[in-house]
Amino acid sequence: MSTSARAAGVHPALGWYVWNGPALLQTPSQLKALPPGTQRVLVSFTNRQLQALVEPAGQQRLTQLVAKAKHKGVRVELLLGEPTWVLPAGREQLLNLIKSVRHLPFDALHLDLERSQLPEADQPQWDQGVLETVKAVRDIAPWPVALTTHYRELESPGFAQRLQEAGASEVTAMLYVSNTDRAVDIAQPLLQGPPGLKFSIAQSMERALTAEESHFQLGKAAALQRWHALAKQLSALPHFSGVIVQSWEEFKEARP
């Protein structure tokens, strides 16, 4: 958020994980329903759906969606998530996938890579594996590369800096804590550095999680108020780039 926007007290910089990419492509009018302050949508597709985007009809729909989003001041980022991509065998699959779609007009590439989703035997490899994956992706991707992962990974000394050195331009900390003051306390140390690396905070709107983790039971208006309050408290920190909500689909299902 710009300094002038902060000073004016306007809506926070919001983003949304959109797991059903084809639904947004099919009905781009959904963009009109995005709450004020929305600056980005992180849109996910399966491998098969991505290959359909490469076809002329799919590419045309995507280009139209990106143009409509840009008109509203919203970035469209490609969201890809598969835990085994941090392992050498899975990494090759990811790189081949990116090579096949790197001509598409996304604004950024966002990787969702979480240690806890790996088989237990592979979890110790996560740290080095994610650094190698980010570096390999950065070498071939035409877009800025961002990473979503659990905030505890980012509490490891020097890890955020190593991610930046590997080529990440932004890190999103999954901070599924609905109490705003506690979320601020956890987030502030993460936002201290390293210089030049952007940090965003992921908050949950998932129905399946508890009220301590998710805002779903509060409803849309109260959840938006809390995210606004969270963003307002963090906005003075230079690395902060907004709140991203998991997910757009579940937000739409919540009560007003």
Candidates 126, 245, 102; CA nearest to 175 is 245
pLDDT tens digits, residue range 17-56? Answer: 999 999 999 999 999 999 999 999 999 999 999 999 999 9
Looking at the predicted structure, is the pLDDT value of residue 97 above 80? Answer: yes
Placement of tokens 């237990």 in the chain: 120
Looking at the predicted structure, is the pLDDT value of residue 99 above 90? Answer: yes
Inter-residue contact 179 to 212 (CB < 8 Å): yes
Looking at the predicted structure, is the pLDDT value of residue 6 above 90? Answer: no
Query: In the chain, what is the greatest distance between 2 CA atoms, to the nearest angstrom?
Result: 50
Question: With left for phi above 0 and alpha for psi between -120 and 50, is residue 196 left, alpha or beta?
Answer: left
Candidates 114, 53, 41, 51; CA nearest to 78 is 41
pLDDT tens digits, residue range 150-174? Answer: 999 999 999 999 999 999 999 999 9
Looking at the predicted structure, is the pLDDT value of residue 1 above 50? Answer: no
Per-residue pLDDT at 11: 60
* Percentage of residues of the chain with pLDDT beyond 70: 95
For the chain, the average pLDDT equals 94
Q: What does 25-89 look like in DSSP terms, one character per residue?
A: HH-GGGGGGSPTTEEEEEEE--HHHHHHHHSHHHHHHHHHHHHHHHHTT-EEEEEEE-GGGGSHH
* Percentage of residues of the chain with pLDDT beyond 90: 93
Query: Which residues, including other chains, have CB under 8 Å from residue 37's CB and lie 6 or more apart?
Result: 10, 11, 12, 13, 14, 228
34 phi and psi, to 5 degrees? -65, 135
Q: Please tell me the distance from the alpha carbon of residue 115 to that of residue 107, in angstroms, as a whole number.
A: 26
Q: How, if at all, do strands 38-44 and 75-81 pair?
A: parallel
Q: Per the structure block, which two tokens stand in for 134?
A: 């980010």
CA-derived radius of gyration, the chain? 18
Supply the pTM of this predicted model. 0.94
pLDDT tens digits, residue range 128-156? Answer: 999 999 999 999 999 999 999 999 999 99
Q: Please tell me the distance from the alpha carbon of residue 53 to that of residue 50, in angstroms, as a whole number.
A: 5
Q: Label residue 2 by pLDDT band (50, 70, 90).
A: very low
Inter-residue contact 14 to 39 (CB < 8 Å): yes
Mean pLDDT value of segment 109-115: 98
